[in-house]
Amino acid sequence: MAGSDIFAEIIDGDVFNYYSDGQWNKSSSGKYVPIINPTTRKVHFKVQACTQEEVNKVIESAKTAQKLWAKTPLWKRAELLHKAAAILKEHKAPIAECLVKEIAKPAKDAVTEVVRSGDLVSYCAEEGVRVLGEGKFLVSDSFPGNDRTKYCLTSKIPLGVVLAIPPFNYPVNLAVSKIAPALISGNSIVLKPPTQGAVAALHMVHCFHLAGFPKGLISCVTGKGSEIGDFLTMHPGVNCISFTGGDTGIAISKKSAMIPLQMELGGKDACIVLEDADLDLVAANIVKGGFSYSGQRCTAVKVALVMESVADILVKKINDKVAKLTVGPPEDDNDITPVVTESSANYIEGLVMDAKKKGATFCQEYRREGNLIWPLLLDNVRPDMRIAWEEPFGPVLPVIRINSVEEGIQHCNASNFGLQGCVFTKDINKAMLISDAMETGTVQINSAPARGPDHFPFQGLKDSGIGSQGITNSINMMTKIKTTVINLPTPSYSMG
């Protein structure tokens, strides 16, 4: 039950407090932000609407706490992260329940997200000890014209205050994917969770609180991104922004100061299917990849580019699987659950109606009840249809029939997005050529796109992002290089 037992202290009446200076606080704004349950479309939770003054205080505390944290031994940082991971996994049930109520994540997937997050935190602790526990030692005489009179010591040092902004679809996992690398690297963290997903995030933050991290090192401010977002991202006290979400990230990148940015944004992940593909494997991956969490994943299959000669057979196989998908509330572990907001459902409907008007083949009747949209495969989609290019973030998947691989690659590369893609073929040589030709951060061969496992590098090209995620790359991105040069009066060469 949200806000009960060990989590009782994070709620005040029926409003969840925000976290700063090692305690749970009520905002002086006297206002709260309602969180609408996508299934009931009624207010389910309330969180504090923090003020700009409270953001200023949080960032000041983060700056102070970070100076002390940077002097904390790596092993100690790792030890606290392991503790937080254990507490997170021990209390997965109430946190998962928040995900079910706030973002309509199917119950089993919700538990998986929390366990995966605990595993990410622990892996990050170990990786940080390795990556940050070593530096580089350079000698001057490796460069022409120099004797060995200079020793150069290089190491990775923290950036300072990291602002973490995760999206609604993984409010716990995509929060810890920023928090853990920031902390192991010696940074402090200010978290601004998505409004829908905020209570799950607050519960997660409490697990870090219970682990015993120093006061002020971790803060979590709640409030609508449209209200306090710009104040946070443009704040002079912020030294790094790690953001996952939509076009908002592009706007942030234009407003932020000259600081490191890590952005993981939208995607239009294309699935290219060749004539020799295993069509049963393709159908299974397109259904899982396109409809998991109702398509609300940046790595969801967003367009299938299928060779005409196998399209009829494949579409039939996909439709047979779509017919078996369960549809309903997340509490019953349905495959397809309500999308996160009414506006999201309206956007998806707009794309469907556009496709209908322009003559796409509807493999199922379009059906919607509130935020719940039944899975829909659109065949014979053409490039003049919006859904050929836009990201529904919903359970609607377009099939474009192609007559050559080049046509598929051309469509994929014409997109503004460049997150992931996948190709199905038995010819590994062809697969490698196609992977090299696709302008995306990752190409999956014979499987649907996916960010996990979380230690793999994960990056978007073009409008899909800036920099690279994945545990090691996130740790490195949240550090900067410091060098110290020892100058000797005369050359010295260590003898064998």
Ligand X SMILES: NC(=O)C1=CN([C@@H]2O[C@H](COP(=O)(O)OP(=O)(O)OC[C@H]3O[C@@H](n4cnc5c(N)ncnc54)[C@H](OP(=O)(O)O)[C@@H]3O)[C@@H](O)[C@H]2O)C=CC1
Residue ranges that bind ligand 3PG, judged by CB under 6 A = 169-170, 244, 297-299, 450-452
Q: Is the peptide bond before 158 cis (omega within 30 degrees of 0)?
A: no
Q: Which does 479 bind (CB under 5 to 8 A by kind): ligand X, ligand 3PG, none?
A: none
Q: Which is nearer to ligand X, 243 or 424 (CB)?
A: 243
Q: How far is the CB of 49 from ligand X (least distance, A)?
A: 10
Q: Which is nearer to ligand 3PG, 387 or 450 (CB)?
A: 450
Burial 55-66 (b: 16+ CB within 10 A, else e): bebbbebbbbbb
Q: Which does 269 bind (CB under 5 to 8 A by kind): ligand 3PG, ligand X, none?
A: none
Q: Which is nearer to ligand 3PG, 69 or 168 (CB)?
A: 168
Cα three-residue angle 342-305-312, rounded to 5 degrees: 100
Work out the angle between the directed axes of helices 74-90 and 173-184 (0-180°, nearest 10): 160
- Write down the catalytic residue from 98, 220, 298, 422: 298
Q: Is 439 a catalytic residue?
A: no
Q: How far is the CB of 457 from ligand X (least distance, A)?
A: 15
Q: Which is nearer to ligand X, 19 or 69 (CB)?
A: 19
Q: Which is nearer to ligand 3PG, 370 or 452 (CB)?
A: 452
Q: How far is the CB of 290 from ligand 3PG (least distance, A)?
A: 12
Q: How far apart are CA 436 and CA 114, in angstroms?
A: 34
Q: How far apart are CA 481 and CA 470, in angstroms?
A: 20
Task: Enumerate residues 6+ apart whose C-beta is below 8 A from 438.
Answer: 270, 272, 409, 412, 413, 421, 423
DSSP line for 242-260: EEESSTHHHHHHHHS-SS-
Q: How far apart are CA 422 and CA 439, in angstroms?
A: 12
- Write down the catalytic residue from 54, 127, 264, 391: 264
Q: Is 298 a catalytic residue?
A: yes
Q: How many CA atoms lie within 13 A of 394 on its CB side?
A: 30
Q: How far apart are CA 444 and CA 456, in angstroms?
A: 12
Q: How many CA atoms lie within 13 A of 9 on its CB side?
A: 11
Q: Which does 450 bind (CB under 5 to 8 A by kind): ligand 3PG, ligand X, none?
A: ligand 3PG
- In order of 288, 415, 443, 467, the CA distances from 264 in angstroms are 22, 16, 16, 8
Q: How far is the CB of 170 from ligand X (least distance, A)?
A: 7
Q: Which does 226 bind (CB under 5 to 8 A by kind): ligand X, ligand 3PG, none?
A: ligand X
- In order of 362, 364, 447, 485, the CA distances from 381 in angstroms are 10, 14, 23, 61
Q: Which does 452 bind (CB under 5 to 8 A by kind): ligand X, ligand 3PG, none?
A: ligand 3PG
- Pull the structure tokens for residue 428: 């590994």
Work out the angle between the directed axes of helices 198-211 and 74-90 (0-180°, nearest 10): 130
Q: Which does 417 bind (CB under 5 to 8 A by kind): ligand X, ligand 3PG, none?
A: none
Residues of the shown chain interacting with ligand X in the complex, contacts defined by CB under 6 A: 165, 167-169, 194-195, 224-226, 229-230, 233, 244-246, 248, 252, 264-266, 298, 391, 393
| CA-CA-CA-CA torsion sign (198, 258, 246, 115) | negative
Residue in the structure block whose two tokens are 């749970």: 24
Q: How far is the CB of 139 from ligand X (least distance, A)?
A: 44
Q: Which is nearer to ligand 3PG, 16 or 170 (CB)?
A: 170
Q: How far is the CB of 315 from ligand X (least distance, A)?
A: 25
Q: How far is the CB of 453 from ligand 3PG (least distance, A)?
A: 8
Cβ atoms of residues 351 and 389 within 8 Å = no
3-state secondary structure of 245: coil
- Pull the structure tokens for residue 212: 């015993």
Q: How far is the CB of 466 from ligand X (least distance, A)?
A: 12
Q: Which does 402 bind (CB under 5 to 8 A by kind): ligand 3PG, ligand X, none?
A: none
Q: Which does 225 bind (CB under 5 to 8 A by kind): ligand X, ligand 3PG, none?
A: ligand X
Q: Which does 230 bind (CB under 5 to 8 A by kind): ligand 3PG, ligand X, none?
A: ligand X
Q: Which is nearer to ligand X, 167 or 470 (CB)?
A: 167
Residue type, 458: F
3-state secondary structure of 258: coil
- Pull the structure tokens for residue 413: 């590369």
- Pull the structure tokens for residue 208: 């870090």
Q: How far is the CB of 252 from ligand X (least distance, A)?
A: 6
Write phi, then psi, for 305 (nearest 5 degrees). -105, 100
> How does strand 376-379 pair with strand 361-362?
antiparallel
Q: Which is nearer to ligand X, 194 or 289 (CB)?
A: 194
Cβ atoms of residues 58 and 221 within 8 Å = yes
Q: Which is nearer to ligand X, 201 or 443 (CB)?
A: 201
Catalytically annotated residues: 264, 298
